[in-house]
Structure 1
Amino acid sequence: MQSRINELIKISRIEAEKWISYGLKKKEEKEIKDLLSEGNEINLIESFHKKLEFGTGGMRGLIGIGSNRINSYTISLATQGLCNYLNKVIDGNKSAVIAYDSRRFSKEFGNQTAKIFSANNIKSYIFSDLRPTPELSFAVRELNCSCGIVITASHNPKEYNGYKVYWNDGGQITAPHDKNIISEVEKITDFNQINFNFNSKLIEEIDTKIDKKYINKIQSLSVYDNSRSKLKIIFSSLHGTGITQIPNALKAFGFKNISSVKSQESPDPEFSTVNSPNPEDLDALYLGIKKLKKEKADILLATDPDSDRVGVALYDNEKIKILNGNQLASLIVYYSLINLDSNKISKPPYVAKTIVTTRLIDEIARNFGVKSYSTLTGFKYIAELIKNKNAEKFIAGGEESYGYLINDFVRDKDAIISCAYICEIANWAKDNSKSLNDILEEIYDTYGLFKEKLYTIKMEGISGSNRINDIMEKYRSTPPLKIFGDKVKEVIDYNKRVKNPIINVKSNVIQLVSEKNYSITLRPSGTEPKIKFYFSLSGNNSEENKSKLSNLIDKEILSIKNNYE
């Protein structure tokens, strides 16, 4: 073990000294020299033992100096690799659009990205201020750009930032572009290979002309008259980009009674009122729920920093009800299908979800005679599906991690659209003397009760990464014979070829399915140092069964805790 640590120290020292030789700013040079001093070996290793991985969607990592960190140099390196690829595969004029969120250095990283594009004779459009990720996807398509970049780490803690790449269809990069771009990025081993000679004439700021077109397209999705709505809406952007467009989208849908959580309105890179700006975490909703109860409003909407995910809480019968991602995705699909006018679409309709998202969506779609496709985890695969299924019409879809999409003019999960659409469903329910929870119960009565839960274990650093790999290999080589007390009938290893014809790439995901069609799916997180366990059970809709299925999940989680924490 010590010999491996010594080897990593040696590799890291060489890389750190190489960085100093490039002639960095004094502050940056001092930071590296501090890491090189005695007693900082672990931090040195974490910062310099490798290049920050440019994965199949881009980069995400801790902000800081070093080859394994997000900084202006690793951003420049990634952009140069992308430029080299664009110049290889696209003849003639090329262009890119850039957006960024409220995180530390996001604007600086966005401007640096634009400069590198311009230095490589690629026109870049950049928003002059923070904008949501889904609006970037829309802008790529609207401006006919070759690609798009969003500087964001989505819902990660404040210490992170990232770099997401979109292709000309408005979706995140997939095969073959992802691997080919990675190859170009990996070829750059020296800062001298980066063209820093930017051309300001090739950088153009964009704002209202895209904003207006985006909101107008969102408005076209409304199928119910909300102009006389009495729905009381509370909104929180959790210090992120949502504040720029969600109020506009809600007003475009006809809603007027909108109130925001004032202390979370301002973009804040420290996310100072929350531990983590993730709407999946109940703690992040605390201030919003407090306002929801105080004002006796109907619904709380809370979006993550780049506004591609939304969490929802209801104030129903004097009680707070949190709706999870599976429930919201099901409501969106159900509402879309009951309002589907087959006379207005010329192609066969379909809905889409990921393999870890509730099977309730499949059951709803089947009842309406509509196809339901399941992709690998990650909304980029739903976007790829939309691109490939051009003989069919995408209606709606989502993933359990609080990301949803209606229609296809955006090609990523869109919390701006989702907020307006969810409020319309809530308003339709209210006009019929019901809540979203009542609609859900009706869905469960018709299609069956589906109970899902996500459990994650955080495992940081090199040792954490190794532990995650060990857990995955244990399930792969010796999977349990029973889950939830029921015999396992099938083990699906997505690292191998699978039966699902939609899935044509491998992924480090294992799914166990029991004889009662209960399932556990596990995979390493693609964005954080975590391993994720997804639990899914189903049965008749009754209070007794809800309790039974919840207890089965709790027992399984306890077993996993005892084994791996």
Structure 2
Amino acid sequence: MAGKADVSVDDVLQEAAAAWLAWDKNPKTSALVKKAVSDGEKEELEKCFGSRMEFGTAGLRAAMGPGVSQMNDLTIIQTTQGFCRYLEKTICDLKERGVAIGYDARAHPASGGSSKRFARLAATAFVTQGIPVYLFSSITPTPFVPYTVTRFNLCAGIMVTASHNPKQDNGYKVYWENGAQIISPHDKGIARAIVENLEPWPQAWDDALIDGSPLLKDPYSSINKDYFLDVQKHCYHRDLNKSTKLKFVHTSVHGVGHEFVQSAFKAFSFSPPFAVPEQKDPDPEFPTVKYPNPEEGKGVLKLSFELADKEGATVILANDPDADRLAVAEKQKSGDWKVFSGNELGALLGWWIFTCWKEKNPDSSEVKNVYMLASTVSSKILRAIAVKEGFHFEETLTGFKWMGNRAKELIDQGKTVLFAFEEAIGYMCCPFVLDKDGVSAAVIAAEMASYLATKNLTLSQQLDAIFNKYGYHISRNSYFLCYDQTTIRNLFDNLRNYDGDSKYPKLCGKFEVTGVRDLTTGFDSNQPDDKAILPTSKSSQMITFTFANGGVATMRTSGTEPKIKYYAELCAAPGNSDYNQLKKELNDLADAIEEHFFQPEKNKLQRKAD
């Protein structure tokens, strides 16, 4: 029986490879598949053809290479053909309005794949169907694509990027006509349409034809101008910026951010920040970092620290490679560098943006129309500020697709959405981009630091002042790497049957569980009918526990990476100055979560590298 099963698997893989080779016109990927077939490399064929990439609310994200499970010319053509057909069915004036397409600087020489190449093939699919395409002529930050969709009233946007993922990865991020990332049911509709349009259209591979087409437009120059004019409207202290003694260092971590953050500083009348020379130019090899993700902390910022110490700079601003995220570090009196967590920077930016709004809008009655948003795994500090200041706070599911769409709904109702953030260093500081934006966040953070310096305050001191006024909110977030879906399923099933069949845990070590919300199954013990209010999804794992000591902890799977993430936060009343005791209790809680909730599968998980 085992032999027959093996033959069957081999036959399926061989057939998949043959079908691939009939359509693939990229000489590098087709050569890789031919070699795998001739050499009988079953493991390689399984990697390429074992399962097709799933199109979801995050679009696509995978390694670049041949086959249906990876990012390459043919899967980009197939994906765009499906997306095009879905748009044709859904939006009647598609051929009048068109779509926007942008790309980062990623490239994969072994398979001939690159973000620019993928973007041009995507543009070709639309242009051959008579649909206008606003294709950027050069690399751009991710937030430029949703901004373009909104600015030109387009039907959709595509950004080819894998953000902060490892160098071999790429992605295909999709925005709807409202300027926000797609959510259900569009993801499912597009996924179906892709499967129905796998065979490349006659001109699918001929990307040269778009260059002379009247349907191809380049928005680079006008968007580059309009975006920074809009950013300027969020500058509140231009005179202070001109004269500030603070010095800033900026790193784009080998990504696209350098010139755009320089432009943002100019728009705010700052002197240019010092750029980390080894990291300022795009380089798809990311040679100076293990992971091109400033969320990883001090390891990614080593060169920034060295440059800042050399130049006497006290604040570091770091973007990820597609410049939609921002990390901030500050030199402390001790000489050490403090890298702010995503939650800490969210607290600072939320406080700052509300403070600026309040100065501009002294009529206190207006505050009832003001909103701020955060994802459910992020700190609840905005809720505490909202309660005291009188504006509205809303929690959404994880990811800016939810915050962007909710922000748009509120704006359409005449509400003012000032700010949204997620703990994974994503910030929407300017609602003309309905997604996280590391460019505008960088310059707004710089203005905040500049203003505080005139009051002889550091960012760290202001964070303490926020906690003293609104209550301490301290968090500890981490993750485990896991590449095995069965292990992941077992871990979460164990939590759902911890104290017997369908019984969630009542204790986590010494910590009493007072509430459970499971957004995979739709259970919420805090609701009268035990049904969760936030949308649920059976395709992802997410359970939140509340504890008697005021702690909240969420465990979830990542939508874009092979990670099981956990988020723990402890809140205390305003004026509670025993920070060290709070920190100890939070660490005890997080340690208990790792020990008791991860334990059954812990030997199969790989801990986050510090």
| TM-score interval, normalised by the smaller of the two chains | over 0.9
What is the match of residue 519 of structure 2? 494
Deviations 1:454-493 (A, max 9, x none): 2211122xxx122222222222332332236211111101
What is the match of residue 303 of structure 2? 287
Structure 1 stretch 147-156 or stretch 182-191: which is displaced more?
182-191
What is the match of residue 210 of structure 1? 223
What is the match of residue 341 of structure 2? 324
What is the match of residue 520 of structure 1? 553
Deviations 1:189-215 (A, max 9, x none): 433588556553321222221101101
What is the match of residue 492 of structure 2? 472
Which runs of 5 or more structure 2 residues have no equivalent in the other structure? 108-113, 499-503, 606-610
How many angstroms apart in 1 are the aligned matches of 2:51 and 2:230?
44
How many angstroms apart in 2 are the aligned matches of 1:310 and 1:143?
26
What is the match of residue 12 of structure 1? 13
Structure 1 stretch 367-376 or stretch 469-478: which is displaced more?
469-478
Cα separation, partners in 2 of 1:5 and 1:439, compared to 1, 3 Å: farther
What is the match of residue 535 of structure 1? 568
- Quote how far apart the aligned CAs of 1:51 are: 1.4
Q: In structure 2, which of residues 567, 577, 583 is the aligned counterpart of residue 546 of structure 1?
A: 583
What is the match of residue 110 of structure 2? none
How many angstroms apart in 1 are the aligned matches of 2:312 and 2:155?
47
Residues 513 and 520, structure 1, Cα contact 8 Å, conserved in 2? yes
How many angstroms apart in 1 are the aligned matches of 2:290 and 2:441?
24
Which runs of 5 or more structure 1 residues have no equivalent in the other structure? none
Alignment of 1:82-481 (within 5 A): 82-92=83-93, 93-104=96-107, 105-191=114-200, 195=204, 199=210, 200-225=213-238, 226-256=241-271, 258-282=273-297, 283-317=299-333, 318-341=335-358, 342=361, 348-389=369-410, 390-391=412-413, 392-460=415-483, 464-478=484-498, 479-481=504-506
- Which amino acid letter does the alignment assign opposite residue 132 of structure 1? P
Residues 519 and 535, structure 2, Cα contact 8 Å, conserved in 1? no
How many angstroms apart in 2 are the aligned matches of 1:405 and 1:231?
24
- Quote how far apart the aligned CAs of 1:235 are: 0.2
Structure 1 stretch 58-67 or stretch 291-300: which is displaced more?
291-300
How many angstroms apart in 2 are the aligned matches of 1:68 and 1:280?
27
What is the match of residue 534 of structure 2? 503
Residues 76 and 194, structure 1, Cα contact 8 Å, conserved in 2? no
- Which amino acid letter does the alignment assign opposite residue 84 of structure 1? R
- Which amino acid letter does the alignment assign opposite residue 274 of structure 2? S
Residues 448 and 541, structure 1, Cα contact 8 Å, conserved in 2? no
How many angstroms apart in 2 are the aligned matches of 1:343 and 1:10?
72
Partner SS for 2:569: strand
What is the match of residue 22 of structure 1? 23
Cα separation, partners in 2 of 1:354 and 1:432, compared to 1, 3 Å: same
Residues 346 and 423, structure 2, Cα contact 8 Å, conserved in 1? yes
Cα separation, partners in 2 of 1:356 and 1:417, compared to 1, 3 Å: same
What is the match of residue 62 of structure 1? 63
- Quote how far apart the aligned CAs of 1:116 are: 0.9
| TM-score for both structures, normalised by structure 2 | 0.87
- Quote how far apart the aligned CAs of 1:343 are: 5.6
- Which amino acid letter does the alignment assign opposite residue 594 of structure 2? I
Over the matched positions of the two proteins, sequence identity in percent amounts to 31
Residues 373 and 502, structure 1, Cα contact 8 Å, conserved in 2? no
Partner SS for 2:243: coil
Residues 308 and 314, structure 2, Cα contact 8 Å, conserved in 1? yes
- Quote how far apart the aligned CAs of 1:545 are: 2.6
Cα separation, partners in 2 of 1:455 and 1:194, compared to 1, 3 Å: farther
| TM-score for both structures, normalised by structure 1 | 0.94
Cα separation, partners in 2 of 1:99 and 1:553, compared to 1, 3 Å: same
- Which amino acid letter does the alignment assign opposite residue 164 of structure 2? H
Partner SS for 1:227: helix
Q: How many residues matched? A: 562
Partner SS for 1:274: coil
